[in-house]
Structure 1
Amino acid sequence: MQNDAPESRRPENRWFHLCMADDLATLNAFVTTRVGAVPLVAQNIKGRVVAFRNVCTHRFAVIHSEPAGCGPLRCPYHGWSFDADGVPVGLPFNPTDFQLEAEGRRRLALHPAALARCGRLVFVRMAADGPSLEEELGAALFARLAALSDAFPRRGAALEPEDDWERIDAANLRIHQAPDGALVLHSAAPAGADSRFSRTVTLYPATAPITADAEQPA
């Protein structure tokens, strides 16, 4: 069947909210999703947060199978590991089996994905090139989301939004803001991804009292 969707609206060309920047603050922390049949991963590698197709370039196995976690960007199939440029740097048995020099390794680099931040919100896109996140959302909405994410730094107990809460929709992200100062972010799984890639987090402003359920992100 022919895909008649405008080029800019095809899933591979759209930005999707993935997680909070706090989720990727720790070395080797990763968060995954899928856009259609293509798995994506964002990961902190030696302090750089980068995004790739979550598929090893050796035998095309999925590298990280969990929605989130902490561990090196290493394929579980043959143990190939990749650096922040996506280049394989750890190749077991390379001297005897693969004999890959620097140029050969670069040719087997992971396919890059686009990654952008809006305040503390992290977005990914399958296509490495295209309009910026600010261009897709619009300058006013981009600025509003950045301000909100920075103003609500504390995670806490989950809340169910009420009917009178303000609602903001951006990409696959739905934000509900309570009149008394809580923020509920729900990220729907992109098209083609199952429900385990949907995420919900409740945030509180910096001035909110700290309770057992609310903590400052690392």
Structure 2
Amino acid sequence: MTNDSPDQRWFHLCTTDDLALPNAFVTTRVGAVPLVAQNIKGRVVAFRNVCTHRFAVIHGEPAGCGPLRCPYHGWSFDADGVPVGLPFNPTDFQLEAEGRRRLALHPASLARCGRLVFVRVAMDGPSLEEDLGHDLFARLAALSDAFPRPGTPVEPTEAWERIEAANLRAHLAPAASSTPPALVLHSMAPPGADPRFSRTITLYPATTDAERPA
């Protein structure tokens, strides 16, 4: 890593499949900062998972499907983070367009490496490819494209190749093995996050005779 500050570091969150459906979301926490990535009308964006009105956490679950709506007063937000649904606005809040823009959610950085989705608290800093290095970035992108199908979990053995990137530990079954071709992705919870934010998924090629990247 190029920076020891958690806010400046990239963390693997999920795959693009997890955010493919409208309103699908995945959350995590980096230190004291809750983050959410969400599909809003086909656009995948990332924000601090905190309402700017009364600072309530918007999505309390690690993943799910539902509008980006704060449970406190029911405010909902668009893909730019601007509150667009404000129950009782004429009587309780009286917010015009400029006032709504001032209360937009704080954005977070989001980047893709093939079908892998990474997030970062800070908006400024090295790109994900710069942070991982071109060769590792390209290898992970190729692997994520070669293993697109989630399936039965497999426990890697010592013989499996291990690839480390950010909080991601990718385990690749040996090419000459009795085990079917498989890629196991284990995302450790970022610093300060509850273990429930760790995730493990086993991926398989679309076909058993698919060629795996070198």
Sort the TM-score into its range (normalised by shorter chain): over 0.9
**TM-score, normalising length: structure 2:** 0.93
The correspondence for 1:23, drawn from 12, 18, 27, is 18
1:19-54 Cα offsets, whole Å, 9 max, x none, are: 000000000000000000110000000000000000
Distance 1:135 1:66 in 2: 31
Distance 1:155 1:142 in 2: 21
SS in 1 for 2:92: helix
Distance 1:119 1:97 in 2: 45
The correspondence for 1:145, drawn from 140, 163, 175, is 140
SS in 2 for 1:207: coil
1:58 matched residue in structure 2: 53
Distance 1:45 1:207 in 2: 32
1:91 matched residue in structure 2: 86
**TM-score, normalising length: structure 1:** 0.92
The offset of 1:8, in angstroms, is 2.2
The correspondence for 2:6, drawn from 1, 11, 21, is 11
SS in 2 for 1:89: strand
Distance 1:188 1:43 in 2: 20
2:27 matched residue in structure 1: 32
1:184 aligns with 2:184: yes
Runs of 5+ consecutive residues of structure 1 not aligned to the other structure: 1-5, 210-218
1:119 matched residue in structure 2: 114
1:159 matched residue in structure 2: 154
Q: 1:154–1:14: structure 2 CA closer, same or farther, 3 Å change rule?
A: same
Distance 1:85 1:33 in 2: 20
Structure 1 vs Structure 2 CA RMSD: 1.2
Q: How many residues align?
A: 204
Distance 1:129 1:109 in 2: 18
What is the aligned-residue identity percentage? 82
Distance 2:113 2:2 in 1: 24
The offset of 1:17, in angstroms, is 0.1
Letter in 2 for 1:84: A
The offset of 1:61, in angstroms, is 0.2
Distance 2:52 2:145 in 1: 37
Distance 2:123 2:68 in 1: 19
Distance 1:77 1:61 in 2: 7
Runs of 5+ consecutive residues of structure 2 not aligned to the other structure: 210-214
1:155-186 Cα offsets, whole Å, 9 max, x none, are: 10001001100000000000000014110000
